[in-house]
Chain A
Amino acid sequence: METVYLLIPLVCLAAAVLVGLAGQWLGRRAAHSITIGAVAMAFVLSVVVAVEVAGGQRFDGSVYIWAVSDGIQFEIGFLIDQLSAVMMVVVTFVSLMVHVYTIGYMHDDPGYTRFFSYISLFTFAMLMLVMSNNFLQLFFGWEAVGLLSYLLIGFWFERESANFASLKAFLVNRVGDLGFLLGIAAILYVFGSLDYAAVFASAPQHATETMTGILGSQWRWLTIICLLLFVGAMGKSAQVPLHVWLPDSMEGPTPISALIHAATMVTAGIFMVARMSPLFELSQTALSVVLIIGAVTTISMALIALVQNDIKRVVAYSTLSQLGYMTVALGASAYSIAIFHLATHAFFKALLFLAAGSVIIALHHEQDMRRMGALWKRMPVTYLTALIGTLALVGIPPFAGFFSKDAIIEAVALSHTPGAKFAYVVVVAGVFVTALYSFRLIFMVFHGPSRLSEDNRKHARESPWVVTVPLILLAIPSVLAGLVLVGPTLSGHLFGESVMPIDGHGINGYGATDMLVHAWVSLPLWLAIAGIAVAWILYLRSPHAASRIANRFRLLHEILIRKYGVDELYERVFADGGQALGRTLWKFGDRLIIDDTLVNGTAKLVGRLSGVVRSLQTGYVYHYAFAMIIGLVALMSWFLWT
Chain B
Amino acid sequence: MRLSDLQIWTITPEIIVAIMACAILMIDVAMPERARKTIGFGLTVSTLLLAAIAVVVGQDAGYTIGLYGLVVQDRVSDIAKLGICLITAVALVYGRSYTEERNLLRGEFLALALFGTVGMMVMVSANHLITLYIGLELFSLCLYALIALHRDSAEATEAAMKYFVLGALASGILLYAMSLLYGLTGTLELAGIRQSVSGFSADDLPLAVALILVIVGLLFKLGAVPFHMWVPDVYAGSPTSVTAYLASAPKIAAFVIILRLLAISLEPLLEVWQDMLIAVALLSIGFGNLVAIAQRNMKRMLAYSTISHMGFFLLGILSGDSVGYSAAMLYAVIHAVVSLGVFGCILHFSGEGFEADQLDDYRGLSKTDPWLAFLMLLFMLSLAGVPPTVGFYAKLSVFQAVIGAGLLWVAVPAALFVVVGAFYYLRVVKLMYFDEPVAKTPVRSSAAPLESRALLTVNGLLIIGIMPWIGVIAEACRNAILLVGS
Interface residues of A (CB under 8 A from B): 603, 606-607, 609-611, 613-614, 617, 619, 621, 623-625, 627-628, 630-632, 634-636, 638-639, 642
Contact = CB atoms under 8 A, between A and B. Distances in A.
Nearest to A617: B232
A628 B209 contact: no
B276 A617 contact: no
A627 B275 CA distance: 20
A642 B271 CA distance: 12
Given A619-B233, A627-B226, A635 B216 contact: yes
Interface of B: 161-162, 165-166, 169-170, 173, 208-209, 212-213, 215-216, 219-220, 225-227, 229-230, 232-233, 272, 275-276, 279, 287, 290-295, 420, 423
A607 B226 contact: no
A628 B229 contact: yes
A615 to B, nearest CB: 9
A624 B162 CA distance: 9
Contact of A632 (B161, B216, B275): B216
Given A621-B162, A636-B209, A639-B272, A614 B216 contact: no
Which of the listed residues A606, A630, A634 has the most CB atoms from chain B within 10 Å of its own CB? A606
A638 B277 CA distance: 12
A606 to B, nearest CB: 6
Contacts of A619: 233
Given A610-B293, A638-B276, A632 B212 contact: yes
B333 to A, nearest CB: 27
Contacts of B166: 621, 624-625, 628
B271 to A, nearest CB: 10
A617 B229 contact: yes
A631 B226 contact: yes
A613 B290 contact: yes
Contacts of A632: 173, 212-213, 216
Contact of A611 (B212, B294, B420): B294
A283 B237 CA distance: 83
A610 B208 CA distance: 34
B291 A617 contact: yes
B420 A606 contact: yes
A233 to B, nearest CB: 45
A631 B283 CA distance: 11
Contacts of A630: 226
A467 B213 CA distance: 96
Given A617-B232, A635-B212, 18 more contacts: A607-B293, A610-B292, A611-B294, A613-B294, A617-B229, A623-B229, A625-B166, A628-B226, A631-B225, A631-B226, A632-B173, A634-B226, A635-B215, A635-B276, A636-B209, A638-B276, A638-B279, A639-B272
A638 B280 CA distance: 12
Contacts of A628: 166, 169-170, 216, 220, 226-227, 229
Which of the listed residues B215, B276, B294 has the most CB atoms from chain A within 10 Å of its own CB? B294
Contacts of B213: 632
Contacts of B169: 625, 628
B226 A609 contact: no
A621 B165 contact: yes
A610 B166 CA distance: 25
Contact of A639 (B165, B173, B208, B232): B208
A545 B209 CA distance: 111
Contacts of B292: 610
B287 A613 contact: yes
Contact of B229 (A624, A634, A642): A624
Task: Please classify the interface of chain B as helix (H, G, I), strand (E, B), loop, or mixed, using the class held by over half of its residues.
Answer: helix
A624 B173 contact: no
Pick the 4 closest A-B CB pairs, nearest first.
A624-B229, A631-B226, A610-B293, A610-B294
Nearest to A631: B226
B216 A631 contact: yes
B259 to A, nearest CB: 20
Which of the listed residues A625, A627, A628, A638 has the most CB atoms from chain B within 10 Å of its own CB? A628
A610 B226 contact: no
B321 to A, nearest CB: 22
A627 B290 CA distance: 18
9 contacts: A603-B423, A606-B293, A607-B293, A611-B294, A624-B229, A628-B170, A628-B220, A638-B275, A639-B272
A211 B272 CA distance: 54
A611 B294 CA distance: 6
A167 to B, nearest CB: 36
Contacts of A617: 229, 232, 291
A610 B209 CA distance: 33
A354 to B, nearest CB: 56
A623 B233 CA distance: 13
Contact of A610 (B219, B279, B290): B290
Contact of A625 (B165, B279, B293, B423): B165
Contacts of B165: 621, 625
Contacts of A609: 290
A611 B296 CA distance: 12
Nearest to B170: A628
Contacts of B208: 639
A624 B212 contact: no
Nearest to B225: A631
Which of the listed residues B169, B293, B295 has the most CB atoms from chain A within 10 Å of its own CB? B293
Given A624-B162, A628-B227, A636 B212 contact: yes
B170 to A, nearest CB: 7
B307 to A, nearest CB: 11
B216 A610 contact: no
A543 B213 CA distance: 110
B422 to A, nearest CB: 11
Contacts of A627: 226-227, 229
Nearest to A602: B420
Nearest to B169: A625
B226 to A, nearest CB: 4
A251 to B, nearest CB: 44
Contacts of B229: 617, 623-624, 627-628
A603 to B, nearest CB: 8
Contacts of B216: 628, 631-632, 635
Contacts of B225: 631
Contacts of B233: 619
Contacts of A631: 216, 219, 225-227
Contact of B294 (A614, A623, A625, A636): A614
Nearest to A624: B229
Nearest to A638: B276
A613 B275 CA distance: 24
A614 B291 contact: yes
Contacts of A635: 212, 215-216, 276
A230 B96 CA distance: 78
Contacts of A607: 293-294
A622 to B, nearest CB: 9
Contacts of B227: 627-628, 631
A642 B232 CA distance: 33
Nearest to A636: B212
B55 to A, nearest CB: 35
A621 B159 CA distance: 10
A302 B162 CA distance: 94
Nearest to B276: A635
B378 to A, nearest CB: 25
Given A606-B420, A639-B272, A624 B230 contact: yes
Contacts of B291: 610, 613-614, 617
Contacts of A639: 208, 212, 272, 276
Contacts of B276: 635, 638-639
A636 B295 CA distance: 32
Contacts of A621: 161-162, 165-166
A638 B215 CA distance: 14
A78 to B, nearest CB: 42
A125 B213 CA distance: 74
A638 B276 CA distance: 8
A371 B225 CA distance: 88
